[in-house]
């Protein structure tokens, strides 16, 4: 029983003819894109944008109509995954390196549906290392600023090289352990020169669909 698939396919049922859809990134969003691809092949009429090059490629392989960002306008629904979800629907995202495009797409959607297996539900954010997207220019200064903020950053690596996002930026994964105030930390991080954005999605998710180990679905609004 694939819990990610169960949650993702439940979310895909929210998508109706004529909708403009944001396609998330990661192994859970993967199943939502595939399900929407099947429905498009069965006649579903949607327009979509993707939150990563990988999701864009997958959507096009299924024949999902991908529209340029400057033409699609506001989105009806975005379906995306998360690394952690707290009881207030605040999220840590970015495990798949797509946080910047994901946050932009989510912010331009009327509804953000988060899909995950039950293991992503936490009482307090922070056990999952918080991804922070950093421009390469003078990145050591930005790294130092993250350390000074108490974030305990580590550069995400891709083999021997530093990982690069679709946008050509670096990711610093911050070992926060426990985040007391996600809203406050989100602002503090994004105020740092050199930080592009971070994986805290505060007050953005409208619906959370969690697939539990027994196969049941916990759908919260
Ligand atoms: O990078 C991301 O934000 C992904 O959505 C991630 O948070 C969830 O990835 P997963 O569905 O592969 O666990």
List Cβ neighbours of 105 (8 Å cut-off, separation of 6 or more).
22, 49, 51, 75, 78, 80
* 25 in contact with ligand 1, CB cutoff 6 A: yes
pLDDT of res. 56: 98
The tokens of 151 are what? 């974030």
- Other Cβ atoms less than 10 A from the Cβ of 144: the count is 13
Fill in the DSSP letter of residue 52. Answer: S
pLDDT mean over 100-124: 97
pLDDT mean over 6-18: 98
Q: Is the pLDDT of residue 215 over 90?
A: no
Q: Is 51 annotated as a binding residue?
A: no
Q: How confident is the model at residue 51 (pLDDT cuts 50, 70, 90)?
A: very high
Instruction: Decide: helix, strand or coil at residue 104.
Output: helix
Atom number in ligand 1 closest to CA 83: 7
Q: How confident is the model at residue 206 (pLDDT cuts 50, 70, 90)?
A: very high
Q: Is 27 annotated as a binding residue?
A: yes
Q: Is 43 annotated as a binding residue?
A: no
Separation CA 117–CA 144 (nearest Å): 35
Q: Which of 32, 50, 91, 95 to mutate to test the pocket of ligand 1 (most atoms within 8 A of CB)?
A: 95
pTM for this predicted structure: 0.97
* 98 in contact with ligand 1, CB cutoff 6 A: yes
Separation CA 106–CA 91 (nearest Å): 12
* 24 in contact with ligand 1, CB cutoff 6 A: yes
pLDDT of res. 105: 98
pLDDT mean over 95-107: 98
Per-residue pLDDT of 146-201, as tens digits, reads 999 999 999 999 999 999 999 999 999 999 999 999 999 999 999 999 999 999 99
Question: Whose alpha carbon is nearest atom 5 of ligand 1?
Answer: 81
84 as an active site residue: the answer is no
ipTM, two decimals, is 0.96
Pairing label, strands 170-174, 130-134: antiparallel
Q: Which of 55, 189, 49, 89 is nearest to 133 (CA)?
A: 189
Positions of E strands within the chain: 20-23, 47-50, 75-80, 84-85, 91-92, 109-117, 130-134, 153-155, 157-158, 161-162, 170-174, 195-198, 200-201, 207-211, 217-220
Among candidate residues 9, 13, 53, 102, the one labeled active-site is 102
- Phi, psi torsion values for 11, nearest 5 degrees: -65, -40
- Other Cβ atoms less than 10 A from the Cβ of 108: the count is 16
Q: Chain-wide mean pLDDT for the chain?
A: 97
* 27 in contact with ligand 1, CB cutoff 6 A: yes
Q: How confident is the model at residue 119 (pLDDT cuts 50, 70, 90)?
A: very high
Q: How confident is the model at residue 1 (pLDDT cuts 50, 70, 90)?
A: confident
Do the Cβ atoms of 153 and 174 come closer than 8 Å?
A: yes
Question: Whose alpha carbon is nearest atom 9 of ligand 1?
Answer: 26
pLDDT mean over 8-36: 98
CA 106–ligand 1 middle distance (angstroms): 14
Atom number in ligand 1 closest to CA 91: 7
Do the Cβ atoms of 142 and 192 come closer than 8 Å?
A: yes
Q: Is 213 annotated as a binding residue?
A: no
CA 82–ligand 1 middle distance (angstroms): 5
Q: Is 194 annotated as a binding residue?
A: no
């Amino acid at each position: 029983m694939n819990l990610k698939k169960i949650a993702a396919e439940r979310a895909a049922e929210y998508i109706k003819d004529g909708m403009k859809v944001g396609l998330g990134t990661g192994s859970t969003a993967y199943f939502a894109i595939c399900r929407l691809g099947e429905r498009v092949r069965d006649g579903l009429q949607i327009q979509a944008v993707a939150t990563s090059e990988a999701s864009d490629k997958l959507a096009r392989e299924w024949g999902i109509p991908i529209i340029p960002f400057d033409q699609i306008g506001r989105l009806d629904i975005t379906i995306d995954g998360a690394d952690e979800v707290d009881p207030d629907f605040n999220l840590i995202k970015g495990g798949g390196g797509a946080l910047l495009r994901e946050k932009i797409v989510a912010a331009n959607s009327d509804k953000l549906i988060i899909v995950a297996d039950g293991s992503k539900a936490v009482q307090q954010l922070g056990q999952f290392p918080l991804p922070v997207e950093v421009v390469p220019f003078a990145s050591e200064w930005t790294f130092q600023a993250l350390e000074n903020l108490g974030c305990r950053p580590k550069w995400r690596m891709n083999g021997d090289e530093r990982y690069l996002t679709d946008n050509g930026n670096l990711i610093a994964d911050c070992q926060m352990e426990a985040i007391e105030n996600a809203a406050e930390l989100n602002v503090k991080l994004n105020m740092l020169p050199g930080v592009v954005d971070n994986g805290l999605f505060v007050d953005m998710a409208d619906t959370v669909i969690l697939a539990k180990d027994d196969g049941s679905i916990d759908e919260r609004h």
